[in-house]
Amino acid sequence: MSHANATPHVAPLYDYIIAGAGGAGLSLLHYLLDSPILSNKQILVIDQSLNKTNDRTWCFWEIGDHEFESLVQHRWDAISIHAESFSKELPTSPFSYKMIQGIDFYNYVMTAAKLKPNVHWVEAAITNITEANADQPQKEVLLEWDGGSAKAKLAFTSILPFQMNNLASASKYDSRNQSSTHLPFLWQHFKGRTIAFDKPVFDQKVARLMDFNVPQHGATAFMYLLPINEMQALVEYTLFSDQILEISEYDKVLNEYLSKHYPDFTYTIQHEEIGAIPMTQQTFSNFKAPIYPIGALGLAIKASTGYAFKFIQQQCKSIVAQLEQGAAINTNVHNTRHRFYDAALLHVLFYHKMEGAEIFKRIFAKNNAATVFKFLSNTSTLWEDIQIMRSLPTRIFLPAAIAVLWRRG
């Protein structure tokens, strides 16, 4: 009797592969499992680490409740902005500014998904995502990692060429090497701490959204301070610039800020987070159907602010709706008009045409928070856009707008 050769590895075929189980991958998984039409599809979720940690805090504004309302740790109905002698507190109604801990979100989605036999998990670093059967009518995706591979009818990937919660990895990314290199690229980089004071000190009703009275490092820099209760807060030193700092530089500013503002109090550090979020309209991939980039890779981040959580929800919900209808999938979340404003604002910041502190001070000085939030959520009307634009100097923003149009043309 002859011995057969070892059976060659045949990559199993899934309906969907979700490559990257972070903010976008797990949001998509959640909406798929929530869909009466798609919840039984065979889904493979793959991430280099499925042992999730509390690596980020998500904040966002919205009207009313949302999908993950039970995870909201704190909400604020007022924000404050500070720049030199300017100081303003603004009620956010009808919006609330909300905070979710990353780990609560990961646990919530993964715990529910792990009960589903049609969801399969692989912990491995993906090395390649390619289209298989390109010449056949029924296209497939081939996903490879060290020691394994899998196929799917469709794949959704959020794997960037750098890690947003690893400053060293982000620093190594060379945005000038990309195909869309003519578009401005800034990092929104920060280090944050959750601190607890020994006695009550904060007004927990007001989120200090931007305090520009910190070293600007030749860029746009501010302190972001979110009181969770009277004694505890998340405080982050945040910059919009092309150069990521050494960790010690964020720490220095955080230490100075806390001792300046709270000289008679002592605090303990309960948690720390770091981040480098790309603020750009550059693309990070050239995947096409049946491979779809989502999350930061799928340009869900708003280029002028770095906010992404709500846009990721919008993107993933919309993908699921399109899958349900059997429609061609479009992952765009930012409309043309608001993309244009983002490009103009980014142009001004990138080319140092006006200081970020001055821009945001003027916007918040002359508008109510709800109008600004709508503008930054891409939901403002043309009339509201005009109100925001009237807060800003035409001599700076008109040439920026023309430069953006010229670049496109």
Ligand X SMILES: Cc1cc2nc3c(=O)[nH]c(=O)nc-3n(C[C@H](O)[C@H](O)[C@H](O)COP(=O)(O)OP(=O)(O)OC[C@H]3O[C@@H](n4cnc5c(N)ncnc54)[C@H](O)[C@@H]3O)c2cc1C
Q: Please report how close the Cβ of residue 158 comes to ligand X at its closest, in angstroms.
A: 4
DSSP 3-state of 363 = helix
The distance from CA 282 to its chain's CA centroid, rounded to whole angstroms, is 15
Between 33 and 297, name the residue whose CB sits nearer to ligand X. 297
Kindly provide the residue ranges of all beta strands, DSSP E only, lying in 183-266, ordered along the sequence. 185-197, 206-211, 220-227, 232-241
Between 174 and 198, name the residue whose CB sits nearer to ligand X. 174
Q: Would you say 80 and 88 are in contact if contact means Cβ atoms under 8 Å apart?
A: yes
Between 227 and 275, name the residue whose CB sits nearer to ligand X. 275
**Beta pairing, strands 43-47 & 13-19:** parallel
Between 97 and 212, name the residue whose CB sits nearer to ligand X. 97
Between 110 and 344, name the residue whose CB sits nearer to ligand X. 110
Q: Please report how close the Cβ of residue 148 comes to ligand X at its closest, in angstroms.
A: 12
Burial class (CB in 10 A: 0-12, 13-18, 19+), 251: middle
Q: Please report how close the Cβ of residue 225 comes to ligand X at its closest, in angstroms.
A: 13
Give CA–CA dist 86/82, Å, rounded.
6
Q: Spell out the residues 6+ positions from residue 2 whose beta carbon is closer than 8 angstroms to its own.
A: none
| Whole-Å CA distances, 403 to 12, 242, 348, 351, 389 | 50, 20, 10, 11, 17
Q: Spell out the residues 6+ positions from residue 57 whose beta carbon is closer than 8 angstroms to its own.
A: 99, 100, 101, 102, 192, 234, 273
Q: Please report how close the Cβ of residue 175 comes to ligand X at its closest, in angstroms.
A: 17
Give CA–CA dist 201/168, Å, rounded.
35
Between 104 and 355, name the residue whose CB sits nearer to ligand X. 104
Q: Give CA torsion, residues 175, 178, 179, 185, to 10 deg.
A: -10
Between 21 and 343, name the residue whose CB sits nearer to ligand X. 21
Nearest residue to ligand X, using CB?
Answer: 22
Q: Please report how close the Cβ of residue 135 comes to ligand X at its closest, in angstroms.
A: 27
Q: Please report how close the Cβ of residue 248 comes to ligand X at its closest, in angstroms.
A: 19
Q: Please report how close the Cβ of residue 161 comes to ligand X at its closest, in angstroms.
A: 9
Helix 23-34 and helix 309-325, axial crossing angle in degrees, nearest 10: 40
Task: State the residues that interact with ligand X by CB under 6 A.
Answer: 20-25, 46-49, 56-60, 125-126, 158-159, 164-165, 273, 275, 277, 295-297, 307-309, 312
